[in-house]
């Protein structure tokens, strides 16, 4: 059930939550699975969310500027920090901007949460690992090999220092349809197949993909269950991108000859080869096959 299908006017709100990056890919799904008793404030950096639900407050947050002064006199029970500069090439081209948005702004939000006794949920990435020692558990040491991964690693370290009770959620490759105009790997993949265009897919980049619905519901479970620590949100199967593409093409009944194996070595920046992750007891690995079935044979692909 989505929030748009539920009348919230008579609901007793027991938790006030600020969601940064509300206009982004993960943010849109967090809105879809919003618990009924959460009063949500939508934070946005560059793109205002299209969500027009009058129950939601809108809060512009410029991640390039000091955060504390922008949240002055505001109090939340929890902050979910989903905003990030996530395009790997853009991060390499603009390292100072990447560090400001992904590292410094995240640290300042953590300091705000610690000062106001608010829970803090930080969305991180599997790209913090070097790719040389997979599979990775949550306790394994991160050794990023690109700017994006470094910015997230530095943010994680700062958050643990200034806000010890924070929850750090490392996301694997997240699969699902983009909402509100966001475009992701699966949209790109399906789009090329639908136009009968060749699809290059890395044979030497290995991930543990997870479906976006599972990610969104897990984040809300962490929020409402007041879970902290570092956790991996990943699926239970390991694929390189080419293998993943073949499986997805089969579900789409698409021509498999449109796919061809490429190498990540041709990209202009470093990409870790194998960042497959291991889930923990608190948040076990999600069934990739169940998510696949739901997406292609249920309502996810509509």
Q: What is the DSSP string of 106-158?
A: HHHHHHHHHHHT-EEEEEEEGGGS-SSS-SB-TTSPP---SHHHHHHHHHHHH
DSSP letters along 220-275, please? Answer: HHHHHHT--EEEEE-BS--EEHHHHHHHHHHHHT--GGGEEEE-GGGSSS---SB-
Let me know if residue 272 belongs to a domain: no
Q: Which of helix, strand or coil describes residue 181?
A: coil
Q: Does 58 fall in a domain?
A: yes
User: Which sign, positive or negative, has the C-alpha torsion 34, 233, 129, 79?
Assistant: positive
d(CA 222, CA 218): 6
Looking at residue 299, its pLDDT comes to 52
Q: Mean pLDDT of residues grouped by 10 in the chain (302 residues)?
A: 41 84 93 94 83 78 94 95 96 98 98 97 98 97 97 98 97 93 90 96 97 97 95 98 96 95 92 97 95 80 51
* pLDDT recorded at residue 11: 52
Residue 221 lies in a domain: yes
Asked if residue 192 is part of any domain, the answer here is no
In a domain, 260, yes or no: no
Domain presence at residue 182? no
C-alpha distance across the termini of the chain, in Å = 16
- 148 within a domain of the structure (yes/no): yes
Taking the C-alpha atoms of residue 121 and residue 67, their distance in angstroms, rounded to an integer, is 16
Domain count, the chain: 1
**187 vs 28: CA distance, rounded Å:** 15
pLDDT score recorded for residue 6: 38
Domain-embedded: residue 79 = yes
Domain range for residue 74? 13-176+209-237+278-294
pLDDT computed for residue 241 by the predictor: 97
Tell me if 201 sits within 8 A of 166, measured CB to CB. no
Task: Give, for 192, the enclosing helix (H) or strand (E).
Answer: helix 185-194
- The number of angstroms, rounded, from the C-alpha of 34 to the middle of its chain's C-alpha atoms is 16
Report which DSSP code applies to 3. Answer: G
Can you give the CATH number for the domain in which 68 is found?
Answer: 3.40.50.720
Write b or e for each residue in 23-46: b if 16 or more Cβ atoms lie within 10 A of its Cβ, otherwise e. Answer: bbbbbbbbbbbbbeebbbbbbbbe
Whole-structure pTM value: 0.92
């Amino acid at each position: 059930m989505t929030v748009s299908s539920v009348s919230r006017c008579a609901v007793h709100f027991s938790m006030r939550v600020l969601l940064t990056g509300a206009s982004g890919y993960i943010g849109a799904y967090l809105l879809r699975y919003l618990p009924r008793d959460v009063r949500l404030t939508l934070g946005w950096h560059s793109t205002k969310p299209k969500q027009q639900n009058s129950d939601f407050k809108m809060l512009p947050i410029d991640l390039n500027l000091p955060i504390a002064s922008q949240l002055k006199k505001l109090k939340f029970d929890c902050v979910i920090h989903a905003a990030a500069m996530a395009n790997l090439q853009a991060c390499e081209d603009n390292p100072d901007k990447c560090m400001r948005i992904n590292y410094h702004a995240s640290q300042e939000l953590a300091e705000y949460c610690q000062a106001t006794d608010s829970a803090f949920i930080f969305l991180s990435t599997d790209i913090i690992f070097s790719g040389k020692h997979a599979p990775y558990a949550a306790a394994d040491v991160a050794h990023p090999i690109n700017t994006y991964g470094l910015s997230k690693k530095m943010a994680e370290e700062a958050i643990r220092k200034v806000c010890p009770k924070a929850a750090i959620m490392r996301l694997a490759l997240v699969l699902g349809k983009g909402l509100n105009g966001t475009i992701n790997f699966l949209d790109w993949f399906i789009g090329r197949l639908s136009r009968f265009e060749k699809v290059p897919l890395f044979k030497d980049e290995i991930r543990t993909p997870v479906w976006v619905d599972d990610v969104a519901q897990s984040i809300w479970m962490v929020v409402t269950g007041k879970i902290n620590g570092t956790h991996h949100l990943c699926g239970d199967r390991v694929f390189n991108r080419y293998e993943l593409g073949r499986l997805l093409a089969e579900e789409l009944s698409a021509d498999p000859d449109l796919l061809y194996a490429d190498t990540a070595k041709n990209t202009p920046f470093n990409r870790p080869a194998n960042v497959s992750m291991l889930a923990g007891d608190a948040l076990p690995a999600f069934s990739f096959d169940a998510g696949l079935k739901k997406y292609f044979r249920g309502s996810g692909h509509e």
